[in-house]
Amino acid sequence: MHDGAAVAFVVASITMPNVTANGIRIEYETFGDTSNPPLLLIMGLGAQMVSWDREFCQRLADRGFYVIRFDNRDVGLSTHFSDAPTPDLMAALAGDTSSASYTLSDMAADAAGLLDALGIPAAHIVGASMGGMIAQAFAIEHPDKTLSLCSIMSTTGDPTVGQPAPEALELLVSAPPQTVEEAADASVAASKVIGGKRYRLDEERIRALAVESWNRDHDAVGMARQLVGIIASGDRTSGLHNVTVPTLVIHGVDDTLVTPSGGEATAKAVPGAELLNVEGMGHDLPVPLWPRIIDAIVENTQKATAAR
């Protein structure tokens, strides 16, 4: 039996602001001074905005940014597409994406709508995993709203690159947890498969995030709707050729969920993009690596400032 202390922890309900944008409710939170350059953080598959650690967000704010994190559609407290057709993941993996309720373009439009609702004309866009895919779609389809782009542990949509290792693919097709205890256990088990191997696995931290996320909201089908949406979105490589803002691609050398060829292809597709391959990082953002990652993000944004 695992130590149930973290699982028993109940996260207090915190009222966060929300807006209606692109026809849906979007829950968001901000850090820092509104007069600072805006930086939008977009999280990945099935992950709520709280997966952008509060301290990570605050560190970015302390570097002079107005940081915005938010729940993507179908996770957390943003709109869930519960009345949509049941997503058929196995059919989508076989090439039939007719059960998709939306695509990454729709999710990028959500992010653009959030900026509009907040009165922000353009922002630095940072996305991780599926969030990196959304960030790429955002930069392609909303160039006037994009100051710079940072794509972390992500890929282009080209099916020949960035594909998960077999043990990681198994995580994507496994049955969703039914209880908070199962969610915490599954999160730790997944981290052992897709996380980097250099840094100690912080099980307490992982469990606490899983519990916090479960207590905010849990949707047994939302992640599958997102995943089918990813598959239905196709290859962004040609669109990435037209991205002109400063672009940084960060990828963990140990990533088994989105293997490093995905990051390499992303950097190759965007003219002038910088690729930062990080030793000891998998499909995660280990706390010891935060200073290096944040420094790299800041340096990329400074290129945008210098170019204006």
Q: Which helix (H) or strand (E) holds 213?
A: helix 203-216
pLDDT over 70 (residue 5): no
CA atoms of 126 and 107, how far apart (whole Å): 14
> Helix 290-307 crosses helix 54-62 at what angle (to 10 degrees)?
40
Say if residues 277 and 296 touch (Cβ distance below 8 Å): no
Place of tokens 């922890």: 9
74: left (phi over 0), alpha (psi -120 to 50) or beta: left
Confidence of residue 16 (pLDDT cuts 50, 70, 90): confident
CA atoms of 95 and 198, how far apart (whole Å): 36
CA atoms of 66 and 43, how far apart (whole Å): 17
The CATH code of the domain that includes 167 is 3.40.50.1820
Question: Mean pLDDT throughout 131-135?
Answer: 98
Of the candidates 144, 111, 116, 141, the one whose C-alpha atom is nearest the C-alpha of residue 126 is: 111
Residue 214: CB atoms within 10 A of its CB come to 20
pLDDT of residue 308: 64
Of the candidates 66, 2, 39, 28, the one whose C-alpha atom is nearest the C-alpha of residue 210 is: 2
pLDDT over 70 (residue 7): no
Sequence-ordered list of residues with C-beta below 8 angstroms from that of 295, at least 6 positions apart, any chain: none
Say if residues 175 and 142 touch (Cβ distance below 8 Å): no
pLDDT of residue 13: 36
The mean predicted confidence, pLDDT, of the chain is 94
pLDDT tens track for 73-89? 999 999 999 999 999 99
- Write out the residue range of the structural domain in which residue 175 sits: 5-307
DSSP output for 136-187: HHHHHH-GGGEEEEEEES---S-TTSSPPPHHHHHHHHSPPPSSHHHHHHHH
pLDDT tens track for 182-196? 999 999 999 999 999
Of the candidates 103, 84, 82, 80, the one whose C-alpha atom is nearest the C-alpha of residue 26 is: 80
Say if residues 174 and 224 touch (Cβ distance below 8 Å): no
CA atoms of 126 and 120, how far apart (whole Å): 16
Question: Mean pLDDT throughout 23-51?
Answer: 98
CA atoms of 298 and 37, how far apart (whole Å): 11
Q: In terms of residues, how long is the chain?
A: 308
Place of tokens 């040609």: 238
pLDDT over 90 (residue 4): no
How many domains are contained in the chain? 1
Of the candidates 158, 162, 306, 289, the one whose C-alpha atom is nearest the C-alpha of residue 246 is: 306
pLDDT of residue 8: 33
Confidence of residue 225 (pLDDT cuts 50, 70, 90): very high
Residue 127, beta-bridge partner list: 42, 151
Of the candidates 98, 110, 158, 104, the one whose C-alpha atom is nearest the C-alpha of residue 132 is: 104
Structure tokens, 199: 């840094």
CA atoms of 184 and 308, how far apart (whole Å): 46
